[in-house]
Amino acid sequence: MRANEVKGREEHPFLRLCERVMEREINRRDFLKTGAILGGSALLVSHLPYFYRSLSPAYADSPSTSSFLYDLQLPQNQIYTTCLACHANCSVKAKVLEGVVVKLDGSPYSPMNILKPLTYSAKPQQVARFDAPLCPKGQAAIQSLYDPYRIRKVLKRAGPRGSGKFITIPFEQAIREIVEGGYLFKDIGENRYIAGFREVLALRDPKVAKTLADDVKLIQQGKMTVQEFQQKHRENLSYLIDPNHPDFGPKNNQFVFMAGRIEHGRIEFSKRFVNGSAGSINWFEHTTICEQSHHIAYDRVSAAWEDGKFGKGKTHMKPDVQEAEFIIWFGTGAYEANFGVNPLSRRTSEGYASGRLKMVVVDPRMSKTASKAIKWIPIRPGTDAAFALGMIRWIFENQRYDENFLKNANSAAASQNGESSYTDATFLVRWEDNHSIKYVRASEIGLGQPQERLGKDGKPYLFDPFVVMRMGSPTPVDPLDKTHPVTGELFVDTTLQGIRIKSVLQVVKEEAFQHTIEEWAEICGISADDIRSVAKEFTSHGKKAVVEFYRGPVQHTNGFLTALVLIYLNLLIGNIDWAGGLSAGGGHWHEIGDKSGQPFPVDSLHPGKLIPFGIPLTREGVFYEKSSLFSGYPARRIWFPFSKNVYQEVIPSAYENYPYPIKILWNHMGTPAYSTPAGTEFIRMLQDTEKFPLIISTDIVVGDTTLYADYIFPDTHYLEEWGTLHLTPLITLKCSPIRQPVAYPVPEIVQVNGEEMPCSMEAVMIAIAHMLGLSGFGEGGFSPEFPLKRPEDYYLKLMANLAYGDGPGEELPDADEEEMELFVRARKHLPPAVFHPEKWQKAVGEKLWRKVVFLLNRGGRFEDASKAYSGEKLEHKFGKLLRFFIEEVSSAKNSITGHPFPPIGTYQPISHSDGSPVSYPDYPFLLISYKDVFSTQSRTVNNYWTQLNFKPENFVEIHTSDAVHLGLHDGDMVRVISPVNEKGQVDLHNGQIMDLLVRVKVSEGIRPGVVAISHHYGHWAYGASDILIDGKLIKGDPRRKTGISPNPLMLRDKKIPHTCLADPIGGSASFYDTPVKLLKG
């Protein structure tokens, strides 16, 4: 429906305005209507003059620009949104001309883009001519938006999985087929019945679901037997995957959603569908192939002590690069990858050039950041913890730790001593043997009985204080106590009432003293003097020194324990909450609406919501010992009680039916076969139609993994969709950048329940929910008043929550008339299926609408730059307990070996899941990988300006001495092989084999014995190979097929079939532990 057809517009001055503006709209639909992928005609671009004589006569003018108007400076040609070239979420000023996105720059409203953002209240008209920086991959995203290989219509497989043969089918037909199931591929000779969503989503009654879920919990707690459960629920057993294992949960769990890249907004939307409407517990994203052990370690260290237990923590902390004087980058840096390159580069370069900031880079590869560092430490991969423990030993030996910080045992003591956060350094632990240690509680040593307290949820709980040693006597401590300061002794090793007792810091110290600094240095293959000098420098800047790491040190089998040790360095100097120290981030306004007074608490506005239950397919967040599958050690596959989103386990677990078989796999914006270590193993599994009866995908192209799907639904590009993003804690200001539709959508416009929208993940979910009458969508999706029939019905409510703020008095101002007009004019090129002013306004109500426009006109909500610091500290502080000792991990067991996990952060050699060392003496080089600054993961091979322009193919980088030894020269072609890939090939199981042949680049900037291969290359789909659609050949672009991916070489676990090595605590997949060999030719 067009704006000028809207009824009742007389009542709304705003709508009259829309009508006025939209009447002037030129229909720009032509240029994106069809594409080659559909078998339609190519884009209509202007026919260009190919000879200089046909130039526009304007060139004959005199060289003056005075009468010229530069369109891109006009605010009506600009929309602010948020980048998704990587996950950092820099703000973007997108410039749109005649419906085409022509230029992406950074937004000056966000501290992600410039040091000091412009005043938030500045009108978009005022800042229209002020552009801010955006990194190369961000700017090149125009080329992924307009990738000639983007799909417009739903593709259905027309040959075996991976054959690359598809037909286009109407959206409605595709939805009907995946919902109803049946003999869907009979016409291509697959005579098998496929269960659709209707059958798989068996359990729909929220009351039944809740009683089943409650009793499964009782089974897990040992309070109910399976027999009792079966007896009690005999009428509902048919809803379960396996009545003999009620803890597998309902059949709904056989629908599995795995997302590669998914961000806030879409996370919540898809969880609403998968968890709340479809009732499946199996919603996953890709985090373990990214940096999960880093996240889990920070999360455990900072876990909130609340109601007598440790809850959620902060998964990410970062240096305040703005004020820091010294940063040690472990396996990461400021100028490539990390989180994110835009803000890190700007602050780091400023600090480096002004002389404020000194840096050390610990990395086997000399990164761009190492080029600016005072020292590059080319460490042996996987040994970062040994380096850090050497530093810790030196710090203890020389008493360079911050005693004033570490002695504080509660909030009151911290305040008294000028700190805001505090640690468990002085807490006492029972040391019976060197594992399964526990905090000493007051009642255990006769310091009174546990006290009953009232929890946040109003329920009483027992609080048994922790204990510290104070002037020789054990003293109870309540960490949250803000009025009675308690400090403790740092080093305690004694016996109390027959119990051997140590302080936590004592345990850390003993760990560091396991080896001499020389021995630690020996493990990491560097000199002991480097450890000493770095430790000295690190402890010479007060609070303004920080240890920073991300993915490098933790994507190893020892990831979590390494991460803990690295965090210890920050804790030892007490840099948290200080300017130039460790920042927990400025945080964000809450889009979900769970803060007091917020207009749309979307999670609870879900009548008939299902509570999903059961063991996740990846066995994450649950203890093996508490499951009905427990049968001693080893377990068949690893259980991950402390991790989540264990991406590398989704496909092999389903393939192994462990813990249970699945029926529908939805792969959203992800490419597990390409991005996961040893992921090419998945190809063979995904072709098994017994184990994976139905695979659906949402993707913008036929990707390297979606190639193996049964149905591919076109998805929106980030310039066509919504999001509510959260920023890296590097940003010390409170910020809520948003993503909103900028471009006329490339995917076809589909109709669902009378509403038009671009084909996308959201459209598929809305359509499935509509066809099945699932809760939380459609008429009454939120409440009788508010339907959820199109994406904006959901996302604009999140925007309204942000515009309202986190509490009364935080509302944004109303957009004025001028801004309201600008808002509409800037969107005149969008079709009503996207921009429908009346429906947009209706989604949030008239009262909030102008506030929402104020927010959308600025691409989000950003705190004023004056709020960064308060005195010498950060304004936004963590301000709570931080732990060296992770009690819950220490008291759990490794599900494969049955051994308890180590009690404290430590160095562990790289190993298989059974603890056996990774040792392949015939393979002389250790393979590492990295990301180029102009590329992201799997998604930038369509960036002709950048990836294929700056580096048309990737290399294997090798040290000069190694190259000489092997007789290799720059540019020589080699085949890379590994113990699990002795042929140096990738079998695509469609008749094609890819050779892992790559050119050599000889460099001084890499540790001898290590070779590096960058990511982003070695694609076999994503436009790299020919595919057949509706019988027409779509030729691949050979430029996209160059180079190799390091992932197909990576080690698989010895004991656990079909999977890479992994960290059993943090869940991270191992990327840097594979030995390889280079063969000439």
Partner 1 sequence: MPVIKEDDLERMQRDLERALKKPIKQRSWVMLIDTRKCSGCRSCVVACISENALPPGVNYRRVSEVENGTYPEVAKVFMPFNCYHCDDPPCAKAAPKGAIQKRPDGIVILDYSRFSSREEVKKVIDSCPYGAISEDTLHFWSEGTPERAPYDGKKPSYEYGKKTLGRARVPRKCHFCVHRVDQGMLPACVVNCICGATLFGDIQDPDSLVSELMAKNITYQKDEGLPTHPRVYYLAESFDVETNLKACALCHTGTEVKPYERK
Q: Which of residues 954-1013 bind partner 1 (CB under 8 A)?
A: 959-961, 1003-1005, 1008
d(CA 485, CA 614): 44
Q: Which of residues 31-50 bind partner 1 (CB under 8 A)?
A: 31-32, 35-37, 42-43, 45-46, 48-50
Find the shortest distance in angstroms from Cβ 949 to partner 1.
7
Helix (H) or strand (E) holding 494: strand 493-496
Of the residues 124, 133, 279, 553, which one makes contact with partner 1 according to CB under 8 A: 133
Find the shortest distance in angstroms from Cβ 699 to partner 1.
17
d(CA 173, CA 171): 5
Q: Is 944 a residue that touches partner 1 (CB under 8 A)?
A: yes
Of the residues 120, 130, 305, 623, which one makes contact with partner 1 according to CB under 8 A: 130
Token pair listed for 516: 């001499």
Q: Which of residues 323-352 bind partner 1 (CB under 8 A)?
A: 323, 334-335, 341-342, 345-346, 348-350, 352
- The residue among 42 and 471 lying less far from partner 1, judged by its C-beta, is 42
Buried b (16+ CB within 10 A) or exposed e, 213-231: bebbeebbeeebeeeebee
- The residue among 27 and 52 lying less far from partner 1, judged by its C-beta, is 52
Site string for partner 1, 74-113 (x = CB under 8 A): -----------------------x--x-xxxxx-x--x--
Find the shortest distance in angstroms from Cβ 942 to partner 1.
9
Between the two ends of the chain, the Cα-to-Cα distance in Å is 62
- Specify the stretch interacting with partner 1 by CB under 8 A; choose among 140-148, 190-198, 599-607, 896-904: 140-148
Site string for partner 1, 808-847 (x = CB under 8 A): ----------------------------------------
Find the shortest distance in angstroms from Cβ 909 to partner 1.
24
| 397 Cβ contact partners less than 8 Å away, ≥ 6 residues apart | none
- Specify the stretch interacting with partner 1 by CB under 8 A; choose among 115-123, 244-252, 595-603, 903-911: 115-123
Find the shortest distance in angstroms from Cβ 730 to partner 1.
13
- The residue among 190 and 872 lying less far from partner 1, judged by its C-beta, is 872
Find the shortest distance in angstroms from Cβ 345 to partner 1.
4
Angle in degrees, CA 82, 87, 92, rounded to 5:
20
- The residue among 26 and 69 lying less far from partner 1, judged by its C-beta, is 69
Q: Is 27 a residue that touches partner 1 (CB under 8 A)?
A: no
- Specify the stretch interacting with partner 1 by CB under 8 A; choose among 137-145, 762-770, 777-785, 899-907: 137-145
# chain residues binding partner 1, by CB under 8 A? 112
Single out the residue of 935, 972, 929, 885 nearest to residue 1069, CA to CA: 929
Q: Is 26 a residue that touches partner 1 (CB under 8 A)?
A: no
Amino acid identity of 560?
Answer: F
- The residue among 118 and 301 lying less far from partner 1, judged by its C-beta, is 118
- The residue among 676 and 942 lying less far from partner 1, judged by its C-beta, is 942
Q: Which of residues 348-377 bind partner 1 (CB under 8 A)?
A: 348-350, 352-353, 366, 368-372, 376-377
Neighbours of 607 (CB within 10 A): 13
Q: Render 596-658 in DSSP notation, one character per residue.
A: TT-S--TTT--TT-----S--TT-BSS-GGGSTT--SSS-SS--BTT----GGGHHHHHHTTS
d(CA 238, CA 844): 41
Of the residues 7, 24, 26, 68, which one makes contact with partner 1 according to CB under 8 A: 68
Q: Render 16-81 in DSSP notation, one character per residue.
A: HHHHHHHHT----GGGGS--GGGTSPPP--PPPP-SGGG--GGGGS-S--TT---GGGSGGGEEEE
Site string for partner 1, 414-443 (x = CB under 8 A): ------------------------------
Q: Which of residues 262-321 bind partner 1 (CB under 8 A)?
A: none
Of the residues 75, 124, 136, 1009, which one makes contact with partner 1 according to CB under 8 A: 136
Question: What is the largest distance, in Å, between two alpha-carbon atoms of the chain?
Answer: 98
Of the residues 173, 225, 404, 866, which one makes contact with partner 1 according to CB under 8 A: 866
Amino acid identity of 108?
Answer: P
Of the residues 114, 241, 852, 958, which one makes contact with partner 1 according to CB under 8 A: 114
Find the shortest distance in angstroms from Cβ 958 to partner 1.
12
d(CA 826, CA 992): 47
- The residue among 130 and 310 lying less far from partner 1, judged by its C-beta, is 130
The number of residues in the chain equals 1081
- The residue among 44 and 462 lying less far from partner 1, judged by its C-beta, is 44
- The residue among 135 and 757 lying less far from partner 1, judged by its C-beta, is 135
d(CA 699, CA 796): 24
Find the shortest distance in angstroms from Cβ 859 to partner 1.
17
- The residue among 404 and 949 lying less far from partner 1, judged by its C-beta, is 949
- The residue among 43 and 208 lying less far from partner 1, judged by its C-beta, is 43
| 654 Cβ contact partners less than 8 Å away, ≥ 6 residues apart | 256, 617, 661, 662, 665, 685, 691, 692
Single out the residue of 638, 768, 763 nearest to residue 694, CA to CA: 768
d(CA 956, CA 970): 10
Of the residues 27, 64, 191, 231, which one makes contact with partner 1 according to CB under 8 A: 64
Q: Which of residues 570-599 bind partner 1 (CB under 8 A)?
A: 579-580
Contact 183, 193 (CB under 8 A): yes
Helix (H, G, I), strand (E, B) or coil at 974: strand
Neighbours of 952 (CB within 10 A): 11
Single out the residue of 301, 326, 334 nearest to residue 316, CA to CA: 301
Amino acid identity of 14?
Answer: F
- The residue among 135 and 392 lying less far from partner 1, judged by its C-beta, is 135
Find the shortest distance in angstroms from Cβ 369 to partner 1.
8
Site string for partner 1, 1010-1029 (x = CB under 8 A): -------------x------
Q: Which of residues 877-936 bind partner 1 (CB under 8 A)?
A: 933-934
The one-character DSSP state at 1081 is -
- The residue among 113 and 277 lying less far from partner 1, judged by its C-beta, is 113
837-844 and 846-856 helices cross at what angle (nearest 10)?
110
Find the shortest distance in angstroms from Cβ 787 to partner 1.
35
d(CA 765, CA 790): 10
